[in-house]
A = this chain, B = another copy of it.
């Protein structure tokens, strides 16, 4: 059966469960908007949208369930970056009418499995035909406590820079099955004062300069210290993109306690100190600053 045989309402019904998933959802599928309860005045609302496009973020031959998983986990990784808890998702699926319903169902299965992993309710969606590649766009709404919100802007000179996990070579498979570091980020902001944090989506070489710029500081990293994924080289760790690991800046006074408690809490996930933030003036003449590798990462428009 093809997508064009099914029609929009029945297609969406396969994605959106008939009953609201959480008590916060008052209306979902089948109404004009989804209706959800407000998290209350002491919390801030977080909003993020992201998309995956066939031929750009996935190949036609990739398993559809894995593609659905990736489509949901990409914006959830941004929630990790801000220490937020995602709650609700809206999904837009754009596909040619000739696409098999089985393939669509597999996209949905991956989206649902990824959402369930973090108790996210898929509360709305949209479908459209296209003459082009399959595209899945996911918008996520969630919250963060007012005193636990971490932006990219709070980095301070002398802060230590840490990354979670291992970097590079995501395209060989990790990009379709990664788990956003939401639990790790929530633990970090519960136990420590994290000055700045972001998720590595475009590669350390692109993302670290963004964090430094937003924080109005410079940075130096020890290239040799980068935690490499199996089979990855330093170039991959800097430029490949889609690592979806956390990059964070934290006072050097916290370093020992962080390293020790992290090993206990997350024994299987490395946390690596890769460098430090510096005043802008201190890095203008530094080799790291002019290292061409650190100026490039994954670029979407070729």
Contact = CB atoms under 8 A, between A and B. Distances in A.
Contact of A125 (B8, B49, B57, B94): B49
A82 B123 CA distance: 16
As for how many copies of this chain the complex holds, the number is 2
A8 B296 CA distance: 13
Among the interface residues A27, A97, A129, A300, which one has the most CB atoms of the partner chain B within 10 A?
A: A300
A289 interface: no
A79 interface: yes
Nearest to A45: B36
Interface in A68-97: 78-79, 81-82, 84, 88, 90-92, 94, 97
Interface in A191-205: 198-199, 202
Contact of A47 (B36, B48, B97, B151): B36
A270 interface: no
B41 A38 contact: yes
Interface in A1-38: 3-4, 6-9, 26-27, 30-38
A33 B180 CA distance: 14
A133 interface: yes
Contact of A48 (B32, B79, B144): B32
Interface stretch (A134-142, A161-169, A170-178, A229-237): A134-142
Interface in A177-213: 198-199, 202, 210
Interface in A150-166: 151-153
Contacts of A302: 4, 97, 129
A153 to B, nearest CB: 7
Contacts of A143: 38
Contacts of A47: 33-36, 88, 90, 123-124, 139, 141
A292 interface: no
A272 B35 CA distance: 28
Between A30, A34, A84, A123, the greatest number of chain B beta carbons within 10 A of the residue's beta carbon is seen for: A34
A4 B302 CA distance: 6
Interface string A40-76: 1101111111110101110000000000000000000
Given A3-B301, A32-B81, A132-B135, 14 more contacts: A8-B299, A31-B152, A32-B82, A34-B47, A35-B45, A35-B144, A37-B44, A38-B40, A38-B44, A40-B40, A56-B129, A90-B139, A97-B302, A129-B302
5 contacts: A31-B151, A35-B47, A47-B90, A49-B124, A49-B126
